[in-house]
């Protein structure tokens, strides 16, 4: 577990007093502000222990950090620059593979600590199950919280091959904590028949694209929102670097506009970006797409 309270004294990069943090650790581009000043705390949850098909998302957060130096810190879309954004990247959590519940507890504790300091936790996965750990903390902090969920997959299974704690079930686990009408899904184009049937009575599933997003954000008004972005909502032609690619997804620019809208207009109190599995895309374009989405989200959130 990273102890970020002591980080940022030297621009966030050097932290010789902590056993789990190396002095030369990479950070997301320009996200090296002092802890005291930072409004957004970025951290990685490099876990892929329940991945149902192709593993590798444990390498997602480090790839996003490393490749972030290949994009500009300035966004021409928003006319804002990460150099001015109050963000500190605390690095990756050290998570124990083999004990999923212990991993979720570690993520929960980290997220809770960030929230307790009045800051916004921004988690980089990892597989999608990591959302459950962060959401548990956000729910304790904000009882009346809703979820906006971008994904190719509904993730509403009761269990996957008998296992409840699977990335294929993560939104169902979240639903068990908040109940009906609190989960708003967009871009969904995959799931079994039972997931879609069950979902109709319990969550709001917007299939294939972002139609209805403005109405959802408007209806949520100032209520707290947990925003989770599974990058496989993108079409695999622009984002092949993922464990369960699903053809027929949204374009990069559609996702960019949608995340910007949510981060600008909704009361996002915690968020995550997950499911980059960089080794399935030797071209590196998937990692770059992830970096650019993270940059746009950080800049839109830093209002």
Q: Which residues bind Mn ion (CB under 5 A)?
A: 151-153, 230, 232
SS3 per residue for 43-98: EEECCCCCCCCCCCHHHHHHHHHHHHHHCCCEECCCCEEHHHCCEEEEEECCCCCC
Minimum distance of Mn ion from residue 154's CB (angstroms): 9
Angstrom distances, CA of residue 288 to CA of 67, 71, 207, 284:
6, 8, 26, 6
Strands 204-207 and 183-188: parallel
In whole angstroms, how close is the CB of 1 to Mn ion at the nearest point?
A: 27
User: With respect to Mn ion, which residue has the nearer C-beta, 4 or 135?
Assistant: 135
| Residue closer to Mn ion (CB basis): 153 or 157 | 153
Identify the DSSP state of 276: -
Closest to Mn ion by CB, 51 vs 100, is 51
Is the dihedral angle over the CA atoms 253, 257, 260, 266 positive or is it negative?
A: negative
Closest Cα to residue 266, out of 215, 208, 199, 209?
215
Query: Which residues lie across from 226 on neighbouring strands?
Result: 147, 270
Nearer to Mn ion, 32 or 151 (CB): 151
119 vs 128, beta carbon nearer Mn ion: 128
Q: Which two tokens stand for residue 263?
A: 């981060």
CB of 239 to Mn ion, least distance (A): 11
The tokens for 18 are: 């902590």
Nearer of residues 67 and 232 to Mn ion, judged by Cβ? 232
Please report where in the chains the tokens 């746009």 appear, as a residue. Answer: 296
Q: Which CB atom, from 92 or from 230, has the smaller least distance to Mn ion?
A: 230
For residue 236, the minimal CB distance to Mn ion (Å) is: 11
Identity of the residue, 30 or 230, whose beta carbon is nearer to Mn ion in the bound complex? 230
Q: Which 8-state DSSP code applies to residue 280? A: G
Q: Which two tokens stand for residue 165?
A: 């704690």
Residue 81 CB, shortest distance to Mn ion, in Å, is 31
H-only helix segments in the chain = 60-67, 100-116, 130-141, 170-178, 193-200, 213-220, 252-265, 285-301
Q: How far is the CB of 214 from Mn ion (least distance, A)?
A: 23
**How far is it, in rounded angstroms, from Cα 240 to Cα 287?**
10
Q: Which residue is nearest to Mn ion (CB)?
A: 153
CB of 190 to Mn ion, least distance (A): 8
- Shortest separation between residue 228's beta carbon and Mn ion, angstroms: 10
Residue 260, both tokens: 């910007």
């Amino acid at each position: 577990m990273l102890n970020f309270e002591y980080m940022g004294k030297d621009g966030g990069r050097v932290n010789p007093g902590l056993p789990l943090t190396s002095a030369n650790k990479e950070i997301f581009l320009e996200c090296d502000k002092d802890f005291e000043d930072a409004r957004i705390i970025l951290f990685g949850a490099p876990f892929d222990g329940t991945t149902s098909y192709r593993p590798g998302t444990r390498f997602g957060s480090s790839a996003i950090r490393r490749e972030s130096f290949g994009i500009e810190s300035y966004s021409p879309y928003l006319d804002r620059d990460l150099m001015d954004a109050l963000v500190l990247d605390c690095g990756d959590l050290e998570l124990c593979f083999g004990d999923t519940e212990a991993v979720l507890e570690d993520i929960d504790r980290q997220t809770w600590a960030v929230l307790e300091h009045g800051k916004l936790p921004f988690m980089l996965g990892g597989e999608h199950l990591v959302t459950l750990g962060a959401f548990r903390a956000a729910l304790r902090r904000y009882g009346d919280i809703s979820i906006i969920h971008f994904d190719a997959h509904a993730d509403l299974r009761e269990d996957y091959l008998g296992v409840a704690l699977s990335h294929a079930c993560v939104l169902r686990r979240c639903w068990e904590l908040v109940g009906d009408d609190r989960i708003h899904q967009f871009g969904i184009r995959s799931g079994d028949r039972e997931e879609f049937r069950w979902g109709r009575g319990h969550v709001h599933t917007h299939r294939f694209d972002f139609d209805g997003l403005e109405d959802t954000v408007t209806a949520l008004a100032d209520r707290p929102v947990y925003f989770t972005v599974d990058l496989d909502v993108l079409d695999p032609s622009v984002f092949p670097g993922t464990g369960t690619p699903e053809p027929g997804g949204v374009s990069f620019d559609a996702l960019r506009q949608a995340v910007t809208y949510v981060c600008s207009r909704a009361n996002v109190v915690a968020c995550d970006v997950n499911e980059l599995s960089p080794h399935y895309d030797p071209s590196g374009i998937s990692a770059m797409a992830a970096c650019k989405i993270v940059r746009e989200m950080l800049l839109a959130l830093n209002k």
